[in-house]
A and B are shown apart, each in its own frame.
Chain A
Amino acid sequence: MPETMTAVSEYPLEFRLNNQPVRCRVPVERTLADFLHDDLGLTGTKLGCSRGVCGACVTLVDGKPVASCSTFAFQVNGREVLSIEGLETDGVLHTIQQAFVARSAFQCGYCTAGMVLLTKSLLDHHPEPSRELIVEWISSNVCRCTGYALIIEAVEEAARKLRAERQP
């Protein structure tokens, strides 16, 4: 960590990404999206608007959705970050991803990574969301293809399946 009152142009970044430690130095103006793409080769996060509006670039920081295009990499120092690449386990898609596949909840696929991670955060915060709450959350992200109906159904299915998985 740099001296508090010394202005720095490069940041010693330490955080956990997809349950793995990451240590590196980044220019302070590097966005999280560009860091994932250019420094780590993780291109699953998609860039849509570069203004934090469309939500295609959503990643999770300490379980909360952020627009990675509008988040500087240094802002995740000391935190837990989950990108879309981190959702699957040993090649097996997460239950949410499986629900999106089962419900055909995508067309071009560009918003999908952001939608899936947003869903992850929603269901972590609200394991039994009402349809109204699902609509409120999913409307954070733009989808020009699907009309949202199948996405909402995928979220509902994911919620059911995750609840079932938690049953003893």
Chain B
Amino acid sequence: MQLIPSAGLVPTSARSLPRFKLYEPRSIAQALDALAAAANPVVLAGGTDLVARFNEGLSPGEMVSLAHVAELRSIAADGVTLRIGACVSHDAGCTNAIVREQIPGFSRAWARIANPRIRFNATLGGNLMALRPRYECSLLLTAARARLEFTTSAGTITLTPQDLWAGHAPARSLLTTITLDTADLLWYAYERSMRPLITLATGLRRRPDGLLLSCAVATEYLRPVLLELEMDTTDLPSIARNSREIAKNVFAQLPGTFSDPVATRAYCLAAGTTLLARQLAGVAHA
């Protein structure tokens, strides 16, 4: 019998939240100092996930609020790379003119996650750092081949979303920036119609000798996996015509362990192939 995470949890009353102390740094450096000084810290970004974690047993000694660290809410692009601050809210990010111009498919996908109430307050970084499979930003950023910059007192470390799931984020570090390469990104699409059973995001990037297809797949209980296919063609109408065959080749790489109590591997294989094929059928209009 497989235990489903969060099964059996009963939220405690908000009145019994454990006591903690609050730091309010004004800079990344001050935030790192607070994390280093604290005995058992937790970071507060938008906060939409944090109280739920208290209800699940989180009991920090200190909370480091990032509300006043302006650097974490910046968005900048140079035509090659888009840099998004970790505390950019979903609404601020998906409606940002730079994001819309540089990476329109990702911007449209970002605008569809969660709901309007959550999007105003929740942040890109908070969504990632919560490490909940059903949260969507990890999937979106995996397909976009994003890089996550963590700042430590010793410098900056760059990880992939998969590295984050694997626990490679340094202790007491701060996710500060999410970077995406934009110059070679030809097309990006997000499929969430079968959520929570399965969701997938797909990017197509130019390569010197063709295209790279990057498809990230997740379920409500399984973290995203990245399936990639090098194609020696740039003929988008051809890709659209052969979408079913290409989707089959992509999903042939689905790990044998990719199965949860609700969405079995067989289901994910069938549904994922169909959904990816449907996405690719529309790529001719990219």
Contacts and interface: CB of A to CB of B under 8 A. Distances in A.
A140 B25 contact: no
Contacts of B116: 65, 122, 136-137, 140
Interface string A12-48: 0000000000000001110101100010000000010
A29 B115 contact: no
A29 B47 contact: no
Interface in B116-143: 116-118, 120-121
Given A55-B117, A70-B51, A50 B14 contact: yes
Contact of B15 (A6, A34, A51): A34
Interface string A48-86: 011110010010000011110111101100000000000
Contact of B30 (A5, A7, A50, A140): A5
A1 B18 CA distance: 23
Contacts of A75: 47, 65, 67
A52 B48 contact: yes
Interface residues of A, number: 40
A89 interface: no
A60 to B, nearest CB: 10
Contact of B55 (A5, A51, A71, A140): A51
A67 B19 contact: no
A4 interface: yes
A70 B48 contact: yes
Given A70-B51, A70-B52, A118 B30 contact: no
B267 interface: no
Given A29-B17, A50-B11, A50-B13, A11 B22 contact: yes
Given A51-B55, A66-B120, A2 B17 contact: no
Contacts of A67: 48, 117
Given A2-B24, A65-B120, A66-B120, A47 B19 contact: no
B25 A5 contact: yes
A58 B117 contact: yes
A139 interface: yes
13 contacts: A5-B33, A7-B62, A9-B21, A28-B22, A28-B63, A31-B51, A51-B51, A65-B120, A66-B117, A67-B48, A69-B51, A70-B48, A118-B117
